Structure 1
Amino acid sequence: MKIGFFDSGIGGLTVLSEALKRLPNHEYLYYADTDHAPYGPKPKEEVREYVFKAIEFLVNEGAQIIVIACNTATSIAVSELRQKYSIPIIGMEPAVKPAIESVENSTKRVLVTATPLTLKEEKLKQLIQRLDKHHQTDLLPLPDLVSFAESYEFSDEAILPYLKQCLQSFDISEYGAVVLGCTHFPLFAHHFEKIFSSEVRLIDGSSGTVSHLEKLILAQKVEPCFNASLTFYRSSKKLESSQEIEPFTKILKQLKAI
């Protein structure tokens, strides 16, 4: 089966890595819209246009299922995309449910981190309102983490001061779970671990998203593909040379997916 993955940049590789580990025998197309990243600070209508263009591209490339491995893109466009296309389109949302469940029987709180656009969307507000019965959730936009990731900047010297500055108005001892609500954010998990107690759970939506993908594939009774492949695109341009592809494969190796 040909499966399309889409993100504004390299963040979706955190979801793709989970798919490659659990569902290796497929043809994967990975589209990174790096010409327009980051999405988080941009106007909603502008981002919607980029998302529709990317999904149309993947459909034209033969994708039979598409995973929108981007919380921001999902929040503003997934409903309309499902109306437009007949193929399954899987979206992502910050993993609020497992985070709230993890603190249910305690006085601890949940910190939901994401891009500004994701946090503003009604979709997330309704999700939290439905699940957070005891008002244990706080929100924190971390837009610069996307920019850091797209610049391949993962040094402690750059990331830790930024996180500490953003968290300075929070009492981090209050939290039992932190939601990494942007697919770029798991790339900084070890930085969060250096700030929060080891008892704090870092939760992202990759596993649940890939479980959904797996169920769809099983439902369609797809035969294993013996020509498994992985093709990368940067904003509609297919990457051919090893030099172009290397930044993507480097991240996947770090995530132990290849």
Structure 2
Amino acid sequence: MTNNNPVGFFDSGVGGISIWMEFHNLLPNESSIYLADSKNAPYGQKTKNEIIALSKKNTEFLLRQNCKLIVVACNTATTNAIAELRDEYDISFIGIEPAIKPAALGSQTHTIGVLATKGTLSSELFSKAVETYSNTKIIEQVGFDLVRLIEQGQMHSERMSELLYSYMEPMIRENVDYLVLGCTHYPFLIPQIKKLLPDHVRIIDSGEAVAKRTYRILESVGFSDNPKPINSFYTNGNPDVLQQLIGDSFKAEIRDF
């Protein structure tokens, strides 16, 4: 079955571009619409009801663009709102959750670290995942201020370096051998994080798994056969930050939604 409608993505800002990149690498012929709700970032500091309301607003924007499925490219929105989205809207949603399972199963020290937002770490979905792997010690760390700095274009600032060091140091002391990145903004920090961690510590995020899941859903929803796919990017924040992450091949637009 052929379906040339776009795949929709939304995040609390530019972080979900890390998910979009994995999707685009796997499915380069698919059109897409990416929504960066940077004006309301970070979602991780908001209440559950606020996150649900914002997620519904983003979803309705993407539905008006005739998206054929929606990737909730935000850990906090997934863990707090995806159940409500699936109940209310007649479209397939793909969510993002911290990759605790592969980390817990692969850990030799039985100790893993999770760097995520407050909203993700305090969610019911995350608590259930932790309970499932109770034999693994999980060192949880809220990434206070990381999203804000990325959204402000300060990814390589001195403040970012200070924060990352303070977040990694306790994990190193606890002898973690896996670090799970539980926010889609954080993969952009991997080069800096690697410099702080011992070489044996493996860093994992959900990007590749989400791209593969999207492929499987499209097998039933329909792949595009458009020889010239269109990829659109919208932000209600600073377009320069989004443009820097997506590169010169694509053009970000400023749009209030």
TM-score (norm 1): 0.89
Q: Quick one: distance in 2 between partners of 1:223 and 1:46?
A: 34
What corresponds to 2:68 in structure 1? Answer: 64
Shift of residue 102 of structure 1?
1.6
Farther-moved stretch of structure 1 (197-206 vs 164-173): 164-173
The count of corresponding residues between Structure 1 and Structure 2 is 247
Residue pair 2:10, 2:58 contacting (<8 A) in 1 also: yes
The 1:150/1:218 distance shift into structure 2, 3 A limit, reads same
Q: Quick one: distance in 2 between partners of 1:257 and 1:210?
A: 20
Q: Quick one: distance in 2 between partners of 1:202 and 1:8?
A: 22
Shift of residue 138 of structure 1?
1.6
Q: Quick one: distance in 1 between partners of 2:172 and 2:151?
A: 29
Among 95, 100, 103, the residue aligned to 2:99: 95
SS in 1 for 2:145: helix
Shift of residue 165 of structure 1?
2.2
What corresponds to 2:244 in structure 1? Answer: 250
| 2:184 is aligned with 1:180 | no
| 2:167 is aligned with 1:166 | yes
The 1:22/1:170 distance shift into structure 2, 3 A limit, reads closer
What corresponds to 1:240 in structure 2? Answer: none
What corresponds to 1:123 in structure 2? Answer: 125
Residue pair 1:17, 1:257 contacting (<8 A) in 2 also: no
TM-score (norm 2): 0.89
What corresponds to 2:226 in structure 1? Answer: 225
Q: Quick one: distance in 1 between partners of 2:173 and 2:187?
A: 19
CA RMSD across the alignment: 2.2
What corresponds to 2:205 in structure 1? Answer: 204
Residue pair 2:30, 2:224 contacting (<8 A) in 1 also: no
Q: Quick one: distance in 2 between partners of 1:217 and 1:200?
A: 34
Residue pair 1:232, 1:245 contacting (<8 A) in 2 also: no
SS in 1 for 2:247: helix
Alignment of 1:1-16 (within 5 A): 1-16=5-20
Q: Quick one: distance in 1 between partners of 2:221 and 2:59?
A: 21
The 1:59/1:107 distance shift into structure 2, 3 A limit, reads same
The residue type equivalent to 1:211 in the other structure is K
Residue pair 1:5, 1:28 contacting (<8 A) in 2 also: yes
Identity %: 30
The 1:223/1:61 distance shift into structure 2, 3 A limit, reads closer
Among 42, 46, 52, the residue aligned to 1:42: 46
SS in 2 for 1:94: coil
Q: Quick one: distance in 1 between partners of 2:42 and 2:222?
A: 37
The 1:97/1:209 distance shift into structure 2, 3 A limit, reads same
SS in 1 for 2:40: coil
Farther-moved stretch of structure 1 (200-209 vs 165-174): 165-174
Residue pair 2:151, 2:241 contacting (<8 A) in 1 also: no
